Amino acid sequence: MGRYKLIALDMDGTLLNSEHEVSEENRDWMFKALDAGVTVMLSTGRGVQNVYPYTDKLGLTSPIVAVNGGEVYKAPRELIRRHELDVEAIRAMHEMAVRHDTWFWAYAVEGVFNKETWTDDLNGYRWLKFGYFTDNDEAREQILGWLREQNRYEITNSHPHNLEINPSGITKASGIAEVCRLLGIGMSEVVAMGDSLNDMSMIREAGLGVAMGNAQDALKEAADLVTVTNDEHAVARIIREHVLAG
């Protein structure tokens, strides 16, 4: 086996193309890496309820980092770590969303709730992540300022117009570090690929941090290299040229 022993892949804008599908070329090279003994895993802002359809279809049984590090799985449906937001935090973030009339969503262990499906029974759920989306830059900046004042959250995004909130210190990198401990490897042996600010932590801490050609500029600046877009089989290219080469 070569230098890299784990490949951590963001989903939207990275592994998935514009049709939210995994191309055959990406899939083929993912399994070439797996056959070579390299762990290939998903590291996503999605909740696992929106990850399992892909792992099931791919037949992927490797670890998962979900909700930006909020949950870490040894394998699909085998949870090893969970980090929750308290109910009062969720209530306060919801109030800010209503005040600024933004779209919002929240991942709980029990499901996904948004502006159209919100519940007032917050105590009945285990909350993992809250998110805002708005094209109104002023509203988004005001919410961001308020969140930073709390000094208790990890704040990222998966799109320039959204904000994603986890407990402080909980990131994709913290989740991948947990997987590395499980596998007995170091972060220097990880290849991480992503396109948004919620990928920044793993891009910086991985041995090889790869920004997509369609990535946000800040991520491109932080990455070790910039590859092609998610519609050009970037995952296959990185595996072929940097993981299995030679």
10 as an active site residue: the answer is: yes
Which domain, by its residues, includes 190?
6-82+171-243
From the number of C-beta atoms within 10 Å of its C-beta (0-12, 13-18, 19+), residue 231 rates as middle
Catalytic residue selected from 10, 35, 195, 231: 10
Answer whether residue 1 is part of any domain: no
Longest CA–CA separation in the chain, Å:
57
208 in Cβ contact with 226 (< 8 Å): no
Query: Domain boundary at 167, 184, 217, which?
Result: 167
Query: Domain boundary at 136, 167, 198, which?
Result: 167
Domain with 78 in it: what CATH number? 3.40.50.1000
Pair (67, 127) in one structural domain: no
Task: Report the DSSP beta bridge partners of residue 121.
Answer: none
Query: What tokens does 240 get?
Result: 């072929």
Which residue's entry shows tokens 């090279």? Answer: 29
Query: Domain boundary at 108, 141, 167, which?
Result: 167
Pair (29, 130) in one structural domain: no
pLDDT tens series, the chain, 246 aa: 579 999 999 999 999 999 999 999 999 999 999 999 999 999 999 999 999 999 999 999 999 999 999 999 999 999 999 999 999 999 999 999 999 999 999 999 999 999 999 999 999 999 999 999 999 999 999 999 999 999 999 999 999 999 999 999 999 999 999 999 999 999 999 999 999 999 999 999 999 999 999 999 999 999 999 999 999 999 999 999 999 986
